[in-house]
Amino acid sequence: MKKHLLIFSATLSLAALASAQCFVNPANVLPYNIGSKTYGVVKEAKTWSAARACAVQFMGKLAIVESQLEQDSIFAILNRSGIVTSSITAPDGGGAAYVWLGGNDRGTEGTWVWDSYAGGTGQFWQGARTGTVVGGLYNNWGNEPGNFNNQDALGFASTAWPFGTAGQWNDVDENNNLFFIVEYPGTVGLNEVMRNKAITLSPNPTQDELSLNCDNCGNRDEAYQIFDIQGRLMQEGVLNTDKVVDVRKLETGSYFIQFVSSGLSLKFQKD
């Protein structure tokens, strides 16, 4: 029988977590930005309900994944976060490692929603593994959800399991103790070069060079790192005064360029 129950603000620092009732050590939070959204990978294991309470207490919510960009970005961040996957396995999830997202079907079996308590977007999936997407919203299930022994919470897999691959979603028991991803409004920690600027990369896709396009970014040096979709560091350096990065040595594929001081990540394609 189903139970019925009822990456911070833009100015809140990670240090504020230390005094929060949830008692998360700020050293265990990895912040990053995707466009206008800020996330925190919280590397402390909690049940889904406890993780949800922490996220709301920190003026955020358990992360909602609404696009392939967000999906790929989270996967890349997890792959380079230094998480020991053996510490976040879910026995009922095929023994794979997971982090919590905000999805759940705790209210009605098979009605998968993004947590509305924290401003979620409502239902995104109806049914089990042969179910249907709702409203055209993004999803990335493995051959799931399976509702094995009444699984009600959404896990983002960082390793494979018999019914899915790393990066896909699975329904797992909400009482598993897993790390989790918090999504916050706005951006946190962008330096004066990046703050409140519209930043794009061009050409994208590219074959040889990437240009950073930003009104009034100035000429201040900005260190960067480039990661592949698996989270492996492929290149690093400092932007020159022309804000151009040479990527000719990269193989064809998808990459993220991250600006070290701000944590801002932008995706690009190398042809």
pLDDT digits (tens, 9 = 90+) for 48-78: 999 998 888 777 889 999 999 889 989 988 9
Q: H or E element: which one contains 76?
A: helix 68-79
User: To 5 degrees, how large is the angle CA 49–CA 9–CA 115?
Assistant: 30
- Written as six digits, the tokens of 198 are 């519209």
pLDDT in tens, 187-219: 433 333 333 345 678 898 999 999 887 655 555
Which tokens is 89 given? 């396995």
Got the DSSP string for 211-266?
EEEETT--S---EEEEEETT--EEEEEE--TT-EEE-TTSPSEEEEEEETTT-EEE
This model's pTM is above 0.75: no
Q: Which domains does the chain have, with CATH numbers?
A: 14-184 (3.10.100.10), 199-270 (2.60.40.10)
- Asked if pLDDT for residue 152 goes beyond 90, the answer is yes
